């Protein structure tokens, strides 16, 4: 009897739950399908007018929110942003989640907003997941600058683009082509499967290589999730799967360092070319021991520096994010806002054995 009762009630409960869920969801309205609803702009204030001569007020609260903390690349960018904040006498905080996930950034944005931060500098783990949080922060009075990885343009005021997609893609393909003689199998070791930047670059690299270097074959794209250990293992996996592999491009600093570490300790050292985007400090020993001939990167310190100045310019009212506006970014000089609120930092720097010792980041 007991078991009968228990079972009946549980089943009844499940059915009831399912029915309730169905009723709730179907009762909402007649049917909402994709593309039906007009998306409206969220929280933008494009109507505001800019005053290029406005002074940056003292004591601006600047919050720096990277994709994740303990990532050397973002630490360097943070140092740049902190230096800039010091120059315009602001108050600087760095915060961020320990794992690079889209949703984890949301609660940090909420915190910054709750703290009354004037300028939020962030690199998005997902172009849309942090949008509503950024909208809320903006309507509460914060200026939002994205750098490195953009969000939907509606959700921020200005995006600092480290370099154009074409510039980055072409530099890396040219570097690998030079090292493998313009022909052979090439694999890509990327960050996470959803990383906005890396996916755009990879598409552009494949497109560029198809026209410029038809003998280069892209055999695989693997994801090291910007984790050292996983990137290391994925490199190992690539070399086992593709014995004829001529080169690896890793458009992420964590990936290229892990791949270089694997190659330098393996039989493939000097045989399989490696290039991509890395920091001089992480790559120095692999360039010196011959594992890596050359790699590229923009200067992340300048990226953070420019982002902080752009944020201050927004908060001061010097710019609103409209195309054609100009602002001064300290020692980097004058920058112009392009369409969609994009500010381009410049071309990436190529690092080789000759020049690597000139850089410390």
Partner 1 sequence: MAVDTTPATPAGQSAAQRPGTASRLRLLGSGDAVITGVLVLFLVVAALSVEGFASARNTGFLLLDVVVIVLIALPLTLVIVTGEIDLSVASTVGLSSAVMGQLWFAGLPLETVIPLCLLLGAVLGAVNGFFVTRLGLPSLAVTIGTLALYRGLAFVVLGDRAVADFPRSWTTWAISTIGGTGIPVVVVPLLVLVLVTAVVLHATPIGRSLYAMGNSEDAARFSGIDVGRTKFWLFVVTGVVSALGGVYWTLRYGSARADNAQGLELQVIAAILLGGVSIFGGRGGLLGVLAGALLLGSVRNALQLENVPADVLNIVTGGLLVVAVVAPQVAARVRNRTRSRPAGPPSAPPARPATDPRPSTDPAVQVPADQRGNR
Give the interface with partner 1 as residue ranges (CB under 8 A).
Answer: 1-7, 9-11, 13-14, 17-18, 21-22, 25-26, 28-37, 39-40, 42, 69-70, 93, 95-99, 101-103, 106-108, 110-111, 114-116, 126-132, 152, 192-194, 199, 223
Rama region for 146: left / alpha / beta (φ>0; ψ in -120 to 50; rest):
beta
Between 65 and 292, CB nearer to partner 1: 65
Query: How many CB atoms lie under 10 A from the CB of residue 230?
Result: 16
- Least distance to partner 1 from the beta carbon of 71, Å? 12
Distance in Å, CB of 22 to partner 1, minimum = 5
Minimum separation from the CB atom of position 63 to partner 1 (A): 9
Query: By C-beta, is 50 or 112 nearer to partner 1?
Result: 112
Q: Select 252 or 299, whichever has its Cβ closest to partner 1.
A: 252
HSE-up of 105 (CA within 13 Å, CB side)?
Answer: 28
Question: Whose Cβ is closer to partner 1: residue 101's or residue 170's?
Answer: 101
Q: How far is the CB of 52 from partner 1 (least distance, A)?
A: 33
Q: Which residue lies nearer to partner 1 by CB, 40 or 339?
A: 40
Report, in Å, the least distance between residue 137 CB and partner 1.
Answer: 11
- Chain centroid to CA 278: 14
The first and second tokens of residue 241, run together, are: 């799967």
In degrees, rounded to 5, the angle at the alpha carbon of residue 182 between the alpha carbons of residues 177 and 187 is: 60
Which residue shows structure tokens 């004829």? Answer: 244
Residue 38: how many other CB atoms lie within 10 Å: 5
Distance of CA 343 to the CA centre of its chain: 15
Output 19 or 48, the one with its CB closest to partner 1.
19
The single-letter DSSP state of residue 203 is H
Among residues 75 and 264, whose Cβ is nearest to partner 1?
A: 75
DSSP string, 169-194: HHHHHHHHHHHHTT-EEEEEEES-TT
Please state the closest distance from residue 115 (CB atom) to partner 1, in A.
6
Phi and psi at residue 84, to the nearest 5°: -65, -45
Q: Which is nearer to partner 1, 177 or 249 (CB)?
A: 249
The residue (of 126 and 325) whose beta carbon lies closer to partner 1 is 126
> CA-to-CA distance for 347 and 65, rounded, in angstroms?
24
Write down the least CB distance from residue 25 to partner 1, Å. 4
- C-beta separation of 147 from 162 below 8 A: yes
Cα gap 240→51, rounded to integer Å: 59
Measure the CA–CA gap between 207 and 171, rounded to whole angstroms.
Answer: 13
- How far apart are CB 57 and partner 1 at their closest, in Å? 21
Distance CA(48)–CA(44), nearest Å, equals: 10
Which DSSP string corresponds to 117-141?
-SEEEE--SSTTTTHHHHHHHHHTT
Nearer to partner 1, 39 or 240 (CB): 39
The CB-of-334 to partner 1 minimum distance in angstroms stands at 33
Min CB(131)–partner 1 separation in Å: 6
CA dihedral 130, 136, 142, 144 (to 10 degrees): 30
Tokens representing 41 are 């702009």
């Amino acid at each position: 009897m007991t078991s009968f009762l228990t079972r009946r009630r549980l089943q009844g409960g499940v059915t009831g739950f399912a029915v309730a869920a169905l009723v709730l969801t179907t009762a909402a309205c007649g049917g909402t399908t994709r593309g039906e609803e007009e998306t409206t702009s969220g929280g933008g204030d494009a109507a505001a007018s800019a005053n290029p001569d406005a002074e940056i007020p003292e004591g601006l609260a600047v919050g720096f929110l990277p994709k994740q903390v303990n990532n050397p690349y973002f630490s360097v960018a943070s140092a740049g942003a902190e230096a800039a904040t010091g120059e315009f006498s602001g108050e600087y905080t760095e915060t961020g989640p320990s794992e690079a996930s889209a949703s984890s950034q949301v609660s940090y944005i909420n915190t910054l907003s709750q703290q009354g931060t004037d300028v939020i500098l962030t690199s998005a783990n997902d172009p849309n997941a942090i949008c509503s949080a950024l909208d809320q922060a903006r309507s509460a009075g914060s200026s939002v600058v994205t750098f490195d990885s953009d969000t939907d343009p509606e959700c921020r005021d200005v995006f600092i683009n480290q370099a154009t997609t074409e510039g980055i893609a072409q530099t890396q393909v040219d570097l690998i082509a030079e090292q493998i003689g313009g022909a052979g199998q090439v694999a890509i070791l990327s960050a996470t499967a959803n990383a906005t930047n890396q996916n755009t670059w990879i598409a552009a690299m494949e497109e560029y290589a198809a026209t410029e270097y038809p003998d280069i074959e892209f055999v695989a794209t693997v994801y090291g999730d910007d984790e050292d250990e996983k990137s290391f293992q994925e490199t190992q996996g690539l070399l086992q799967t593709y014995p004829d592999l001529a080169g690896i491009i890793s458009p992420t600093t964590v990936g290229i360092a892990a791949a270089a570490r694997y190659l330098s300790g393996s039989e493939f050292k000097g045989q399989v070319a490696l290039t991509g985007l890395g920091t001089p400090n992480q790559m120095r020993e692999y360039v010196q021991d011959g594992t890596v001939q050359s790699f590229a990167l923009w200067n992340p310190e300048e990226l953070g520096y420019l982002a902080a100045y752009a944020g201050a310019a927004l908060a001061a009212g010097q710019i609103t994010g409209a195309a054609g506006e100009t602002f001064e970014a300290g020692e980097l000089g004058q920058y112009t806002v392009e369409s969609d609120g994009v500010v381009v930092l410049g071309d990436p720097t190529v690092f080789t054995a000759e020049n690597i010792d000139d850089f410390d980041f």
